[in-house]
Structure 1
Amino acid sequence: MIANKPFSYGKIFVIGSGFFALMLIWTFYNAYMPLILGDYIESRAIRGAIMGLDNLLAVLLIPIIGAWSDRMNTKIGNRLPFLVIGMPLAAIFFVIIPYGAAVALWVLLVIDIIFLLAMTIYRAPIIALMPDHTPSEKRSTANGIINFMGGVGAIIALFGLSTLYGIDRTYPFIVAGLLLFLAFLFLYFTVDRHPPYVSSTKDELEETQASNSFFEGLRQLKKPEFRGHLFILIAIFVYFIGYTGVEALFTVYAVEHLEMAESTAGFTLGFFSLAFVLFAIPAGLLGSKRGKTPMMLIGLILLPMVFICIPFLPMIDEVFPNINEVLLLQIVLFLGGLAWACINVQAYPLVADLGGKSKIGFFTGLYYLFSMASAIIAPGILGLLMDVFSHPALFYGAAVSFVIAFYFLKKGSNIVTKTTPKGT
Structure 2
Amino acid sequence: MENENVKSLENCPKLKLNFKRTAIIGFAFFGILLLWQVYDSWCPLFLSNLFEEALHKEHNEVQYLVGIVMALDNLAALIMLPIFGSLSDKTHTKIGKRMPYILIGTFCCAIAFPFIPILFHYHNLIGTIAVMAIVVFFAMMYRNPAVALMPDITPKPLRSRANGIINIMGYLGGACATLVGMIFVLSKYLTGWENSSTSIWVIEAPFLIASILMIISALVLFFFINENRIEKEVAPEMELGERLAAVETSVEEDDKKPMSRVNKIMLLLILGAEFLWFMADNGIGTFMSIYVEKYLHSSTGALSMCILVGGFGSVIGFAAGGFIASKIGRKWTICGGLSLTAIALMIWVIISNVVKIDSNAAENSQKFPFYLYIIWLIKGFGMSLVHINSFPMVVELCSNKKVGKFTGYYYASSMAAQTITPCLIGLLMLNSNFGFAQLPTYGLCCIVGSLIIFLFVKNIKNKAIVKKGLEAFDVDD
Output the TM-score relative to the length of structure 1: 0.74
Q: Which one of 64, 67, 88 corresponds to residue 86 of structure 2?
A: 67
Give the deviation of 1:246 after TM superposition: 0.6
List per-residue Cα deviations over 1:339-365 (Å, max 9, x = no partner): 434555555577789x899xx989988
Note if 1:18 corresponds to 2:28.
Answer: yes
Which stretch has the larger CA shift, 17-26 or 339-348? 339-348
Offset, 1:409: 4.5
Aligned residue number for residue 46 of structure 2: 36
Aligned to 1:328: 371
1:227-266 pair list within 5 angstroms: 234-266=272-304
Contact preservation (8 Å) 1:132, 1:196: no
Q: CA deviation at 1:54?
A: 4.1
Alpha-carbon separation, structure 1, partners of 2:392 and 2:28: 25
- TM-align CA RMSD: 4.4
What CA deviation, in whole Å up to 9, does each residue of 1:197-229 have, x standing for no partner? 16999xxxxxxxxxxxxxx89x969x9x95x98
Deviation at 1:232, TM superposition (A): 6.7
Provide the secondary structure at the position in 2 that maps to 1:260. Answer: coil
Which residue does the alignment assign to 2:54?
Answer: none
Letter in 2 for 1:295: G
Which of residues 262, 268, 272 in structure 1 aligns to 2:306?
268
Judged with a 3 Å threshold, the aligned counterparts in structure 2 of structure 1 residues 112 and 335 are, in CA distance, closer, same or farther, namely same
1:231, 1:383 → 2: CA distance? 27
Shift of 1:180: 1.1
1:98 aligns with 2:117: yes
| Sequence identity percentage | 28
Matched with 1:395 is 440
Per-residue deviation, residues 35-59 of structure 1 (Å, max 9, x unmatched): 1111212422221232234433333
1:113 has 2:136 as partner: no
Counterpart among 125, 146, 151 of residue 145 in structure 2: 125
Q: Distance in 1 between matches of 2:96 and 2:410?
A: 31
Question: CA 1:349–1:65 in structure 2 vs 1: closer, same or farther (change >3 Å)?
Answer: closer
Letter in 1 for 2:177: A
Q: Which is further off, 237-246 or 398-407?
A: 398-407
Q: Does 1:82 align with 2:125?
A: no
| CA distance in structure 1 between the partners assigned to 2:25 and 2:355 by the alignment | 44
Larger radius of gyration, structure 1 or 2? Answer: 2
Q: Does the Cα contact within 8 Å between 1:296 and 1:347 map onto a contact in 2? A: no
1:374 corresponds, among 417, 420, 428, to 417
Question: Aligned partner of 1:332: which letter?
Answer: I
How do 1:199-348 and structure 2 match up within 5 A? 234-286=272-324, 288-289=326-327, 292-293=331-332, 295-296=336-337, 298-299=339-340, 301-312=342-353, 314-315=355-356, 325-341=368-384, 343-345=386-388, 347=390
Name which of structure 1's ranges 79-88 and 361-370 shifts more when overlaid on structure 2: 361-370
Matched to 1:63, the amino acid is P
Return the TM-score normalized by structure 2: 0.67
Conserved in 2, the CA contact under 8 Å of 1:162 and 1:172? no
Partner in structure 2 of residue 49 of structure 1: 68
Following the alignment from structure 1 to structure 2, what is the Cα–Cα distance between the partners of residues 126 and 134? 14
The alpha-carbon deviation at position 324 of structure 1 amounts to 6.0
Q: Which of the two has greater helix per residue?
A: 1
Shift of 1:369: 5.3
Contact 1:314 1:325 in 2 (8 A): no
Say which is worse superposed, 299-308 or 362-371, in terms of deviation.
Answer: 362-371
Report the Cα distance in structure 1 between the residues aligned to 2:304 and 2:214, rounded to whole angstroms: 20
Amino acid at match of 2:45: L
1:20 counterpart SS class: helix
Aligned partner of residue 203 in structure 2, secondary structure = coil
Going from structure 1 to structure 2, the CA distance change for 1:184 and 1:165 (only over 3 Å counts) comes to farther
Instruction: List per-residue Cα deviations over 1:241-261 (Å, max 9, x = no partner).
Output: 122201211111111101122
How many residues are paired up? 388
